[in-house]
Amino acid sequence: MPRKPKNNISGWINLNKPVGVTSNDAVSIIKKALNYPKIGHAGTLDPLASGILPIALGEGTKLVPYMMDDDKTYLFTATWGEQRTTDDAEGEVIATSDIRPTEDQIKSVLPDFIGTIDQIPPIYSAIKVDGQRSYDLARAGEIPELAPRPIEIYELSLTETTPDSATFRCICGKGTYVRALARDIAEKLGTKAYISRLIRETVGPFSLESAISLDIFREISDKADLESNVLPVEAVLDDVPVVPLTEQEAMRVRNGNKITFISRPDMERLVKAGLNPKARMLELALLKHKDTPLAVADVEGVEIQPVRVFNL
């Protein structure tokens, strides 16, 4: 059988990762299906979790750090009565409680978890402790001491209750561990809990409504099939100002050189893009030439410095 030709498409796949597959497994399946080596993901999902896993192809991988910073929406179910080593259904039971909070009791504590709060990550996490991953230390029988970290919870609501569980929807910033959030809500209620279901509904501009199944990549047979499922490189920058460039400016940017807008028409171009050339503050912008993305740039006043240059 002839080898499948390598693809060179750049962009993003809005993947709906199924339960039971690791994030790296999902990347490997897509990489094998497409025979495409330059691929990565933005934001790990645990095997027991499902939902949005943004997949970057080609030049899209240069934007992974920006995607990691995007806000996320989670739907999760906390099962009351048990605390587990991993804070989810995979772990061993380490504590129990007979207390089952009522709906009113649950709602009364939610305001304590909205805004900027300190959170101690789960010991089964990828955070490094003295150069080692916390989950590696935990698996070796050690209990790593993790310092609390500030996180942002923008919205937290109760969507459903049963005698033994509660389901929540949470919109949060980067670095939030939903497993730890469920653990801490239970502690506040005087009981124990672990995550029994976790669905990531959105990451930045990506949502479940437009996500595609991993099964599709077991069936893709040609480049046309691939292209129909790939979003543009700039899809993850939907809220970033776009600055159009001239041919001469584009040539400098392609070489990674800074450009300066001095003339009044140039500064008006910045204003039209939604930037403030009189402000001495750092702003992010997408640079384009004839609708082709050239680079992501830091803009400070009238100075534009490319920080991620695309080869498109």
pLDDT of residue 134: 67
Residue 207 structure tokens: 């949502």
Tell how far CA 65 is from the center of its chain. Answer: 9
pLDDT above 90 (res 306): yes
Does one domain contain both 169 and 248? no
Side chain identity, residue 193: A
Does one domain contain both 118 and 216? no
Does one domain contain both 192 and 216? no
Q: Give the residue from 231, 242, 260, 270 showing the smallest Cα distance to 55.
A: 231
Among 179, 203, 227, which residue terminates a domain? Answer: 203
- Round to whole Å and give the CA distance between 38 and 31: 8
Q: Which residues are catalytic?
A: 46
Among 203, 228, 248, which residue terminates a domain? Answer: 203
Q: Give the residue from 283, 298, 284, 295 showing the smallest Cα distance to 249.
A: 295
Q: Give 68-90 pLDDT, tens digit per residue.
A: 889 999 999 999 999 998 899 98
Please classify residue 107 by burial: count the beta carbons closer than 10 Å to its beta carbon, then call 0-12 exposed, 13-18 middle and 19+ buried.
Answer: middle
pLDDT of residue 34: 78
77, containing H or E segment: strand 72-80
Does one domain contain both 117 and 265? no
Q: Give 264-304 pLDDT, tens digit per residue.
A: 888 888 899 888 888 778 889 999 999 899 999 999 988 99
- Round to whole Å and give the CA distance between 163 and 177: 25
Does one domain contain both 105 and 252? no
Segments forming the whole domain that contains residue 274: 240-309
Does one domain contain both 232 and 192? no
Q: Give 154-213 pLDDT, tens digit per residue.
A: 999 999 999 999 999 999 999 899 999 999 999 999 999 999 999 999 999 999 999 999
Cβ-proximal residues to 100 (8 Å cutoff; 6+ apart), any chain: 80, 81, 163, 164, 191
Q: Could you please report the per-residue DSSP string of 80-103?
A: ETEEETTSBTTSPEEEE------H
Mean pLDDT of the chain: 88
pLDDT of residue 220: 64
- Taking residues 94-114, report their average pLDDT: 96
Q: Give 144-167 pLDDT, tens digit per residue.
A: 777 889 999 999 999 999 999 999
Report which of residues 1 and 111 the model is more confident about: 111
Q: Please check whether residue 41 lies inside any domain of the structure.
A: yes
Count structural domains, the chain. 3
Tell how far CA 14 is from the center of its chain. Answer: 11
CATH classification of the domain holding 225? 3.30.2350.10
pLDDT of residue 125: 64
Q: Please check whether residue 3 lies inside any domain of the structure.
A: no
The pTM is what?
0.89
pLDDT above 60 (res 57): yes
Does one domain contain both 268 and 288? yes
- Round to whole Å and give the CA distance between 117 and 188: 14
pLDDT band at residue 262 under the 50/70/90 scheme? confident
Report which of residues 190 and 41 the model is more confident about: 190
Q: Could you please report the per-residue DSSP string of 29-58?
A: HHHHHHT--SEEESS---TTEEEEEEEEEG
Instruction: Please give the sequence-ordered ranges of beta strands (E in DSSP) within 105-229, or none if there are none.
Output: 115-119, 128-129, 132-133, 149-162, 165-172, 193-203, 206-207, 212-213
Q: Please check whether residue 39 lies inside any domain of the structure.
A: yes
Does one domain contain both 64 and 131? no
Does one domain contain both 62 and 125? no
